[in-house]
Structure 1
Amino acid sequence: MAPDAMRTAAHSLSDATPLSYWLDDPGKPDALPALTADEHCDLLVVGGGYSGLWTALLAKERDPGRDVVLIEGNESGWAASGRNGGFCAASLTHGLANGLERWPDEIGKLEELGGRNLDAIEAAVARYSIDCDFERTGEIDVATQPHQLEELREWHSRTEELGFTGVEFLDREQVRTHVDSPTFLGGLWDRRGVALLHPAKLVWGLKQACLGLGVRIFEHTRALDLAAQGAGMAVRTPYGRVFARQVALGTNIFPSLVKRMRPFTVPVYDYALMTEPLTADQLASIGWRNRQGLGDSANQFHYFRLSADNRILWGGYDAIYPYGGRLNSDLDQRPETFLKLAGQFFECFPQLSDVRFSHAWGGAIDTCSRFSAFFGTAHRGRVAYAAGYTGLGVGATRFGADVMLDLLSGEETERTALEMVRSKPLPFPPEPFAWAGIELTKRSLARADSHGGHRNLWLRTMDRMGLGFDS
C-alpha cells in the first residue's frame, strides 16, 4: 500500500468502535438470569446462537408440549451469530460448487432443501414479527481479475447445462449499473438465493419467539460437561445440573461436549469494518440501487453489503488460524487486518475516499475440512450435534436444527437420508501439522490469486483429496 493510501486508511479508522456494529444497538435486550438450581426437561439445547435458538424454536413448533430448556454460556448472539455479515444464503453446502464437488448425486435435492429452508426462514421472520431488516435481494459474485471473469462465465454455462436457474451473468457494464466500482469486470447475480438481514436482531427475535412458546432460557450458564444419567443425560453448569431426556448441541466453534468430535473443527478468525452512514450523494456515486449483497471471486475474498441505514459492511480477506486452535479474545481486534481492509475498500470505491469507519471487529468461526456442516449423534442417540458451518450458518443452521431434531426422533426423513448428513468430514491432524497445513493452504491460495488463478501442486493435491477450497 502506498504511503498516501496507508495514511488515508489509517485516518478512516481513527474513531472506529472495537465492537460489532450489530451488537452496538440500544435495542439490545437485557440478559436473562443464570441457572442456579437443578432443572429437568425433555430437551436441553446447549448454545444461544442461531443453531441453538432454531433448534429450541422448531422443537416447540413440532411438539408444543415438549419441555425445552436452552442454556447459553454468555448472552444469546454474543459470538458469531451477532457479528457476521448478515448474508442468509439458501445454500446448505457453502455454495453450489462445493456441494456439486462433494455430493453430485444429491445436489439437486440439497439445492431444493436449501431453497425451502430459506423460504421457511422468511416465513418465520414474518410469523413471529422479527424486526431484523430482512431483504431478499440476492447476491452478486463479482470478478475483479480477468481469470475470475472467465471462470464466472464458464461456471454460469455449466450451471445452466445442469438445470440450475435463477443466476444471471453480468458483463462489466451491466454489473456497474448495479454497483459502480472501477474494479468490477463482471459478475453472477443469484437473484433469490440470498437474503440480507441484521444478524443480531435475528438472534434477539428468535430468542423472544422461543420465550413466547415456553422455552426456558438461562444465560451466563456455561455447560461444563455431559454425562449419561439413567435413561437420559445430565449437563453440569456452575450452579446446578440440567437433567434431560435428550440434548442438542449448538456450540459450533466452542469445544464440543462430545470430546471425540473436537478434531473435526478448527477456529478461524474473520474481520469486518462498518462505515458511517453514506450521504445521498455518496450513495448515488456508487449506485447500489437494488441493495444486493456482494462478494468478490478471489480465494482471499471480500464480502460487502448495505445496512438498513446505508452503511457499508466490508469484511473478509484475512482468515487467521491460531496455533493449537485456541480461542483468544485478543484476536478479536487485529489492527493490521483492519488497515489492510480499509485500504482495499478505498481501492474498490475510490469515490468514497472521504468515508470513515464507525466500527471494526472480528471473531472466530468454526470450519471443517469439507467447508459445510456435519451432523451426528452420541450417547446411544440421546445427544445430537451440528457444527462446521464455515461462515455460512445464518441460513444453514435452521436446516441443521431440523436435522438434529430428526436424529433425536430416531426416524428417517428426507434430511437424514442424505449422504451429506450421514457422512463426516476428515478430522484435522494434531499440531504442528494442522497449523502447517492451514498456513501452506492460505499462502498457496494467495499465490493463486496473484498468478491468474493457477493452483500449485499443494492445492491440486488437496483438490484430489476432496479438501480443496476456492471461495
Structure 2
Amino acid sequence: MAPAALPFASSLADARPVPFWLDDPGRPGARPALTGTERCDLLVVGGGYSGLWTALLAKERDPGRDVVLIEGREVGWAASGRNGGFCAASLTHGLGNGLARWPQELGRLEELGARNLDAIEDTVARYGIDCDFERTGEIDVATEPHQLAELNELHQEATRLGFGGLQMLDRDAVRAEVDSPTFLGGLWDRDGVAMLHPAKLAWGLKQTCLGLGVRIYENTRGLELAPSGPGMAVRTPYGRVLARHVALGTNVFPSLVKRVRPYTVPVYDYALTTEPLSVEQLASVGWKRRQGLGDSANQFHYFRITADHRILWGGYDAVYPFGGRLDAELDHRPETYLRLAGHFFHCFPQLEGIRFSHAWGGAIDTCSRFAAFFGTAHGGKVAYAAGYTGLGVGATRFGADVMLDLLAGARTERTELKMVRSKPLPFPPEPVAWAGIGLTKWSLARADANGGRRNAWLRTLDRLGLGFDS
C-alpha cells in the first residue's frame, strides 16, 4: 500500500531549490578574479552589503581614495542576496533589544538609525538603483494573548520615551491591513522599515561602486591577512593585495582576524515564496499597503509580498550546525520547508491550493547580543563589523560608516557609542556551545507554548545578556 501523502507536500512539488531573488535572468555576470599583485589605499574583503557599502562610502568621503573589493564568490550570492528584504532603521535588532542593552543611548541610536535608513533611500534614488524600494513599514503581529500584552507594553514604553511612529492595532485593525484568522493585534512601525529586492540592491551597489572607480574582483577569496611594511597584505588564490587599510565585511564566514571568530556562530534560516497571487487571492488577503510582517513568537516567522505579488514566508527554524561548520548541504532542508508550508496555510487558510515556486536557505551570522559589533586589529590598520543577526540589510550601511571612522582614527558620534565600543560575550567552545544553544532553543519553544513564561535557563541568560536568535 502506498504511504499517505504528507500534508502540504504537494504545494512544494514545483519549488525550485534556489533563492527567489537570485533566480533572475538579469543577474549580472561576475567580474574577473584577481591575479598577481594589486596595491590600493583601502582593501574591502567581502562583496555583501557590508563590503559594498564600505567601498561606496569610502569613495564618497574621498573620491581620490584607491579602493579594491574582493569577493570569494559573486557579489550578493550569500545572505545579502537571499534574505527577506526587510530594510530596518533599527540598529539594535528592535526597540526591545535596544532598551535592554543600551537604554542610556537608545535615543541617539534610534536617531542614527533613522538617518541611516533615510540615507539608504537617498542613495537608491540618487544612483538610480532599481531594487523595488518601498517605505511601507512593518507590523509585528500577535498570534497569542501574551504576545499582544507584550506588544502593548512595548508600545507604552516607546510612547513614554518619546519614540513616535508606532501604532497599536487591535484585531480588526490588523486584519483590515492583512487578513489572517490567527492575528490578534499588531504594532505597526509606519516609517522605520522599507521593503526591497535584496539581490537587486547588492547588484545596484556593485554597479555604483564600479562607476565610482572601485576595482572589484569576484571569485577571489581572502585567504590570509598579515602586516606588510607600513600596511597590510591579503593573500588570495592567484595573487595578493597590498593595502594601507583593510575593512573586513565577511560576517558569517571565518574572520581573517582569528580572535573575532568566537563572537559569532552561523545559523541556518529558510524561506519559501509562493507563485504569484491572482487578483482574487490578493483580495482575500488584503495587504494593499504591502507592509512587512513578523509574528512575535520566539520561534518567529517573517513574511512580505513581492513586487510581482508573491508571498515570501520564512523563519521559525534556526539551525545551528555542530562546530559552527558552513556546509552547502545545509542550504536546503526539506523538513523545514514542509513545516513552513504547514505554518503558511495555518496563517492563510484562504490560500489553500496555492503552490510554492522557490524554497531555499542559508547561513547568517548570529552574536549573543543580536546586534552588530565592531573593532580594529593590527594597530588600527584593519577594521571589522559582524554579528548583524538577520537585521543587516539596513544596519550594514551604519557598520560601514563605523569601520571607516575607526580606520581614520576619528572620534565621531558613532565611535563614541557604548554599542560601538563594547563587544558581546563570545560563544563557548564545543561541545558547550552545541549543548547551550540546543537547551536555549528548547527553552524558547517551551516559552512559546507556555504563555511566554521563561524558564530558569532563559532567565539566567537574560541576566548575563546572552541569547540565541536568527
TM-score between both structures, scaled by the size of structure 1: 0.98
CA distance in structure 2 between the partners assigned to 1:403 and 1:42 by the alignment: 18
Provide the residue aligned with 2:22 in structure 1. 23
Secondary structure of the structure 2 residue equivalent to 1:251:
coil
CA distance in structure 2 between the partners assigned to 1:456 and 1:142 by the alignment: 24
Aligned AA for 2:205? L
Aligned 1:344-359 pairs, distance under 5 A: 344-359=343-358
Shift of 1:7: 3.7
Provide the residue aligned with 2:186 in structure 1. 187
Q: Is 1:445 the equivalent of 2:430?
A: no
Provide the residue aligned with 2:53 in structure 1. 54
CA distance in structure 1 between the partners assigned to 2:274 and 2:235 by the alignment: 43
Bigger mean CA offset, 148-157 vs 172-181:
148-157
Provide the residue aligned with 2:73 in structure 1. 74
CA distance in structure 2 between the partners assigned to 1:415 and 1:153 by the alignment: 31
CA distance in structure 2 between the partners assigned to 1:467 and 1:314 by the alignment: 28
Contact 1:77 1:204 survives alignment (8 Å)? yes
Shift of 1:140: 0.3
Give deviations 1:212-252, integer Å, cap 9, x for gaps: 00000000001000000010000000111100000000000
CA distance in structure 2 between the partners assigned to 1:52 and 1:62 by the alignment: 15
CA distance in structure 2 between the partners assigned to 1:146 and 1:468 by the alignment: 24
Aligned AA for 1:82? G
Provide the residue aligned with 2:111 in structure 1. 112
Contact 1:460 1:468 survives alignment (8 Å)? no
CA distance in structure 1 between the partners assigned to 2:230 and 2:87 by the alignment: 38
Provide the residue aligned with 1:172 in structure 2. 171
CA distance in structure 2 between the partners assigned to 1:259 and 1:469 by the alignment: 22
Provide the residue aligned with 1:142 in structure 2. 141
Secondary structure of the structure 1 residue equivalent to 2:43:
strand
CA distance in structure 2 between the partners assigned to 1:470 and 1:186 by the alignment: 23
Contact 1:445 1:470 survives alignment (8 Å)? no
Aligned AA for 1:289? K
CA distance in structure 2 between the partners assigned to 1:154 and 1:74 by the alignment: 45
Provide the residue aligned with 1:399 in structure 2. 398
Q: CA RMSD in A?
A: 1.1
Provide the residue aligned with 2:158 in structure 1. 159
Shift of 1:9: 1.3
Aligned AA for 1:170? L
Aligned 1:365-444 pairs, distance under 5 A: 365-444=364-443
Aligned AA for 1:328? D
Contact 1:272 1:362 survives alignment (8 Å)? yes
Secondary structure of the structure 2 residue equivalent to 1:105:
helix
Shift of 1:8: 4.4
Contact 1:46 1:250 survives alignment (8 Å)? yes
Change in 2 beyond 3 A, CA 1:77/1:333 = same
Shift of 1:300: 0.1
CA distance in structure 1 between the partners assigned to 2:120 and 2:151 by the alignment: 29
Q: Is 1:329 the equivalent of 2:324?
A: no
Contact 2:370 2:469 survives alignment (8 Å)? no
Bigger mean CA offset, 227-236 vs 158-167:
158-167
Contact 2:249 2:386 survives alignment (8 Å)? yes
Contact 2:367 2:468 survives alignment (8 Å)? no
Give deviations 1:73-107, integer Å, cap 9, x for gaps: 00000000000000000000100111111111100
Provide the residue aligned with 1:96 in structure 2. 95
CA distance in structure 1 between the partners assigned to 2:198 and 2:469 by the alignment: 25
Change in 2 beyond 3 A, CA 1:158/1:426 = same
Q: Is 1:200 the equivalent of 2:232?
A: no
CA distance in structure 2 between the partners assigned to 1:450 and 1:440 by the alignment: 15
CA distance in structure 2 between the partners assigned to 1:449 and 1:324 by the alignment: 27
CA distance in structure 2 between the partners assigned to 1:153 and 1:377 by the alignment: 40
Shift of 1:411: 1.1
Give deviations 1:108-143, integer Å, cap 9, x for gaps: 000000000000000000001000000000000000
CA distance in structure 2 between the partners assigned to 1:174 and 1:8 by the alignment: 32
Shift of 1:469: 5.9
CA distance in structure 1 between the partners assigned to 2:56 and 2:352 by the alignment: 45
CA distance in structure 1 between the partners assigned to 2:468 and 2:40 by the alignment: 42
CA distance in structure 2 between the partners assigned to 1:377 and 1:470 by the alignment: 25
Provide the residue aligned with 1:295 in structure 2. 294
Shift of 1:203: 0.2
Contact 1:463 1:469 survives alignment (8 Å)? no
Contact 1:81 1:200 survives alignment (8 Å)? yes
Aligned AA for 1:104? P
Contact 1:252 1:366 survives alignment (8 Å)? yes
CA distance in structure 2 between the partners assigned to 1:126 and 1:41 by the alignment: 29
Give deviations 1:295-328, integer Å, cap 9, x for gaps: 0000000000000000000000000000000001
Provide the residue aligned with 2:218 in structure 1. 219
Secondary structure of the structure 2 residue equivalent to 1:227:
strand
Give deviations 1:385-418, integer Å, cap 9, x for gaps: 0000000000000000000000000010000000
Contact 2:437 2:468 survives alignment (8 Å)? no
CA distance in structure 2 between the partners assigned to 1:330 and 1:469 by the alignment: 22
Shift of 1:470: 7.8
Q: Is 1:44 the equivalent of 2:57?
A: no
Shift of 1:466: 1.0
Contact 1:253 1:266 survives alignment (8 Å)? yes
Which ranges in structure 1 are unaligned for 5 or more consecutive residues? none
Which ranges in structure 2 are unaligned for 5 or more consecutive residues? none
Aligned AA for 1:430? P
Aligned AA for 2:279? A
Provide the residue aligned with 1:465 in structure 2. 464
Change in 2 beyond 3 A, CA 1:469/1:75 = closer
Provide the residue aligned with 1:84 in structure 2. 83
Provide the residue aligned with 1:316 in structure 2. 315
Superposed structure 1 runs of 4+ greater than 2 Å apart:
468-471
CA distance in structure 2 between the partners assigned to 1:154 and 1:352 by the alignment: 33
CA distance in structure 1 between the partners assigned to 2:279 and 2:316 by the alignment: 28
Aligned length: 468
CA distance in structure 1 between the partners assigned to 2:105 and 2:468 by the alignment: 20
CA distance in structure 1 between the partners assigned to 2:469 and 2:266 by the alignment: 18
Contact 1:253 1:364 survives alignment (8 Å)? yes
